[in-house]
Amino acid sequence: MGIFDSEPREHQSLWSRRVHTLERIADMVPCDNDFPAFCPFATDPKRRHLFKPFTSVRGKMLFQSKDRLSLTASIIAQTLTMHTLTKQGVVVDTMALHDANQGEVLSNEVLTKRWVYPWKESRRKVGAPTMSSSYMAPGKSVPLLLYPFSQPLSDIRAYFGEKVAFYYAWLGFFSYYLLFPALLGAALQGYMWGYGVVWCEAGVYDWFQIAAVGAVVVWCTVAAEMWKGERAIVATKWGTDGMHEEARALRSQFTAQTIGAHGADEW
């Protein structure tokens, strides 16, 4: 399989066959890269480990179902103004269809089961409280203590897109980290009931209350810094690092009007 400079010229016809053999061997090597590169596709076997293909009914692809729908919608939007066509009655409505009827694994029913009714699904498929958690890896089972805070963030991203998934990633992170002040407040309330202490009683300084306030202040700072790290991990995994939403120059909802002798005639 090696290619040497000393080989005769007539053996060069076998070089392409050897290269294809190396490519097939590279395809058999498992890819454990959790942070795949988001760059133009290349068939260079040396770069193949950078890409993380997604399983689809069409085979392994570089685009998820929501990416294909977004690309299709953008191509249509460049050619047709769907809002104007709908307003003029040429088009009744437009809707992006998923490929559930074609055998796609992720469908509305599957996402509802994993997200809304997680107790009906295996613990290996309900995700984890945060994207940085090791239990988010495929095949990992989330512990029972974290089960109520788990979300299938990867499935939410694949179905709704990064913008919606980022919102729920923040909600899941915030809810998970609220456990500390919640447990601290419950313990302090039990202490107050046991000793008859009242919050902010005039002339009484309870060091437990002061310590609890200090702990909450420290928690606010730590949680804010932890979210910065979590946000960076999510943006890196989902390929949104450095991306910002740009305002569209064209306003598809705008309908031009002309003022004539008989009034305004809508185009």
pLDDT per residue rounded down to tens, the chain (267 residues)? 455 566 665 555 666 666 666 666 666 666 555 555 444 445 555 565 556 667 676 666 667 777 777 888 888 878 888 778 888 888 888 777 765 555 567 778 888 888 988 888 888 888 899 988 888 887 888 888 888 889 999 889 888 888 899 999 999 999 999 999 999 888 888 877 877 766 666 666 677 778 888 999 999 999 999 999 999 888 888 877 766 655 455 555 566 565 555 554 444
- Whether 181 and 219 have beta carbons less than 8 Å apart is answered as yes
Question: DSSP assignment, residue 142?
Answer: P
Q: What is the dihedral of CA 179, 183, 185, 189, to 10 degrees?
A: 150
Q: Show Cβ contacts of residue 27 under 8 Å, excluding neighbours closer than 6 positions.
A: 48
Residue keyed to tokens 């990064």: 162
Domain assignment of residue 95, yes or no: no
Element holding 167 (H helix, E strand)? helix 162-177
Residue 138, domain member (yes or no): yes
Q: Would you say residue 113 lies in a domain?
A: yes
Quick check: 93 and 87 in contact, CB under 8 A? no
Helix (H, G, I), strand (E, B), or coil: what is residue 259? strand
- Three-class HEC string of 78-115: HHCCHHHHHHCCCCCCCCCCCCHHHCCCCCHHHHHHHH
Q: Which range marks the domain in which residue 161 is found? A: 106-242
**Is 39 a member of any domain?**
no
Number of domains within the chain: 1
In a domain, 249, yes or no: no
50 within 8 A of 39, measured Cβ to Cβ: yes
- Give the closest residue to 158 by CA, choosing from 229, 37, 239: 239
Q: Does the predicted model carry a pTM greater than 0.85?
A: no
